[in-house]
Amino acid sequence: MAGTRSEERDALRRAAILDAALECFLRFGYAKTSLDDIAKRANLSRPLLYLKFKNKEDIYAAVFESLFEARYPRVEQVLARPGTARDKLLQVYEIILLEPWALIAGAPMASEFYAACERLLPEVEARHRRRWLKYTQAVLASKPLSEVFMLAVDGLQSDLPAPRVLRQRLALLVERFTD
């Protein structure tokens, strides 16, 4: 029982740190966010941060991972269910694109968030891109077509649209690729 409470407390602390860090990174950007900012926002001491994470980059990686990892089982459920390519592709991108976008859109440093991950953690970003390609290819059944679709999706976000606008754009793009 004690181990369970300790694990539960650790999980809650980790979640508090990641939530606080996401808020700080979106408000101040990666460069201007300090470990003190994150600790303060998470209501923890800075030494407690170091018990969970090596440094700010480690926290950033964990924040990025947390945005997507929990969503992948839902994507796989969508892919396993019957449905049209249009419906599946829309649902997959609702989960991996629109849901995270809704969390960050409108934040002062939203434009920097994905770019900072690409710059600081290219292997993390590349791993997620490979996974998204695999999911897209499961629907479109063509790697080249899936790669072009993903490039087009990147373009949909270039002007940092509101989530509602991004959803409309995505629906139009999916329609074109699944006709």
3-class state of residue 162 by DSSP: coil
Q: Kindly tell me the burial class for residue 166, based on how many C-beta atoms sit within 10 Å of its own C-beta (0-12, 13-18, 19 or more).
A: buried
Q: Kindly tell me the burial class for residue 6, based on how many C-beta atoms sit within 10 Å of its own C-beta (0-12, 13-18, 19 or more).
A: exposed
Tokens found for residue 51: 């018990």
Domain boundaries, the chain: 1-177
pLDDT by position in tens, the chain (length 179): 456 888 888 888 899 999 999 999 999 999 999 999 999 999 998 888 888 899 999 999 999 999 899 899 999 999 999 999 999 999 999 999 999 999 998 888 988 888 888 888 889 889 999 999 999 999 999 999 999 999 999 999 988 899 999 999 999 999 999 98
Tokens found for residue 5: 């409470």
Instruction: Give residue 138's Cα distance to chain centre.
Output: 20
How many CB atoms within 10 Å of residue 46? 12
Please give the model's pTM, rounded to 2 decimal places.
0.86
CA-closest candidate to residue 79, choices 64, 102, 101, 96: 96
pLDDT in tens, 72-123: 999 999 999 999 999 999 999 999 999 999 999 888 898 888 888 888 888 9
Tokens found for residue 42: 């998470």
Considering the four listed CATH numbers 1.10.357.10, 3.30.2270.10, 3.40.50.20, 3.30.479.30, the one that applies to the domain covering 1-177 is 1.10.357.10
3-class state of residue 172 by DSSP: helix
